[in-house]
Structure 1
């Protein structure tokens, strides 16, 4: 498939896009419009700048990404070779990945400036020139906890103890469906069919605290399974595995949960449409028509404050 350079990004919806818009519409404008094509060599520097800032990450985000990557690797390794990674293996890999993020941020800034998708840049290193040492040690200290809980989790135990009773789908695969003409992205950590229970099981690994949005996010995933596999809501089990606390949540959703999720999603799409000058091309309105958040304390930790706060 030939890569197509588009003047404007394709309009789509996802939970991450929705959360960005709710946090700050101006941030939404930077991340999904101003930084579009910022990975190309011959675009304006302002576009590259916005794209680079979108790629900044902080310790909680980097930590969560590392845990998700290693969880996926552990599952694939077992399914392909029957080998179960140990807690020691996972901790060593996790530390190496955290160290790489720090070294990239400290020593490879110019490389990151050129290829921000290939190298890591931690927010504190970019803006402050150093890490918060207490925060860094806290996250390093979480590695043994989260990987012990990952290996002991119900979902991982299901995979390793009775794989012959399950049919697995590819983990972390980018999936999408179309609702009312809008592409809706669905990214599931783990999906499999439990043959014994005759259920689809959706697993979401969580490295942070429980939030009210967790259930809504899984309702979107359940709706995807209903559409793609013609499954009934009673054939789907959804799980949150909170690996920091070891808490395991299982939900059996109802049609009402699905209806609420769809209503929320469609309302969100309606709000996003306000920032389109053209619905066909997805050309956006001017950046100054994306209002800044009223909660100014959010600006202090925003990736884009370098360019946003410099503007009137």
Structure 2
């Protein structure tokens, strides 16, 4: 049952950790000031912050649309329903992207009132124009057909089609594990048992390039799987990155050292997060001026909260 709380629940994720390191003022907006901003009786700052939090950019929106459609296709396979062809999927992605452009340029008034249900693109909101950068449009168009083609040709989709030898786990919207009374959120795209090889397989679809942070993300997946399904040996867990831009995949075999590293990262990160609290028991934050602003204009240029930090912007 949903409960309205004055302060949000303290939780941890790699994305939250990254936000704190990138800009503590953005961290305050994302995880504290936007809290309850969706309520009709919320104060104006909470509503404004929550609305700005929901802004996305073209690359992020493209990745989100692709992930959603992949999920839908896999569910159709598992339900023995007809699946769309590559061309139909490409058209569907284009439809979603076009709709996001229309919502950003012609339906801002609807987004202002219901930001969770309408899309606002950062490139439109902060340029105050009704056009997207040509370079970004070309970038997404170049990725579109390639990404879809590589999904259908991927090892993981072949496993899905070979479903008689796999056992797929029920999809969960919010996966988390408890560590020292704190929820650690883990976002997994696909989880199944390979019955022939007696392995657990976690799949992460990547619509962008690999990063140095991938390994910590993978280690969190393994920790979650060990806790949730009581798996003793890491050798029983395969974590696969499917890189849809270049059509390759990488299977990772983690070690205990990887798990120790991510647990250490969590411990250090949590201690730092608690320094921003006036009341740790209730997760009540310190006043906003205790969250320093980022001083790199390149980071600020990509941020959703420009109009709060620099009020001369829209």
- For Structure 1 versus Structure 2, the TM-score category normalised by the shorter chain is over 0.9
Whole-Å Cα distance in 2 between the matches of residues 209 and 127 of structure 1? 26
Normalising to structure 2: TM-score of the pair?
0.95
C-alpha separation in 1, matches of 2:221 and 2:28: 26
1:102 and 2:101 are equivalent in the alignment: yes
Report if the CA contact (8 A) 1:188-1:221 is conserved: yes
The separation in 2 between residues aligned to 1:296 and 1:99, in whole angstroms, is 30
For residues 119-148 of structure 1, the C-alpha deviation after alignment (integer angstroms, 9 at most, x for no partner) is: 000001111123113312321331100000
Structure-1 residue corresponding to 2:205: 205
Q: Deviations over 1:236-269 (max 9, x none)?
A: 0000001011121110001111111111112111
Give structure 1 stretches of 5+ with no counterpart: none
User: Aligned runs of 1:1-312 on 2, under 5 Å?
Assistant: 1=1, 3-128=2-127, 129=129, 130-160=131-161, 162-171=162-171, 173-231=173-231, 232-310=233-311
Q: 1:93 offset after TM fit, Å?
A: 0.9
Please state how far the C-alpha of 1:295 moved relative to its aligned partner: 2.3
Cα distance in 2 between the residues matched to 1:23 and 1:247: 30
In structure 1, how many angstroms separate the alpha carbons of the residues matched to 2:21 and 2:250? Answer: 26
Give the Å deviation of 1:82: 4.5
After TM superposition, the structure 1 stretch with the greater mean CA deviation from structure 2, 132-141 or 57-66, is: 132-141
CA contact (8 A) 1:29 1:287 kept: yes
Instruction: Note the C-alpha offset of 1:271.
Output: 0.9
For the residues of structure 1 that align with 2:310 and 2:257, how far apart are their CA atoms? Answer: 42
Q: Which moved more, 1:61-70 or 1:302-311?
A: 302-311
Q: What SS is found at the alignment partner of 2:201?
A: strand
Deviation at 1:85, TM superposition (A): 2.8
Q: Please report the RMSD computed on the Cα atoms of aligned residues, expressed in angstroms.
A: 1.3
CA distance in 2, matches of 1:280, 1:63: 39
Shift >6 Å, 4+ stretches = none
Provide the rounded CA distance (Å) in 1 between the counterparts of 2:97 and 2:7.
34
Instruction: List alignment gaps of at least 5 residues for structure 2.
Output: none
Paired residues, what number? 309
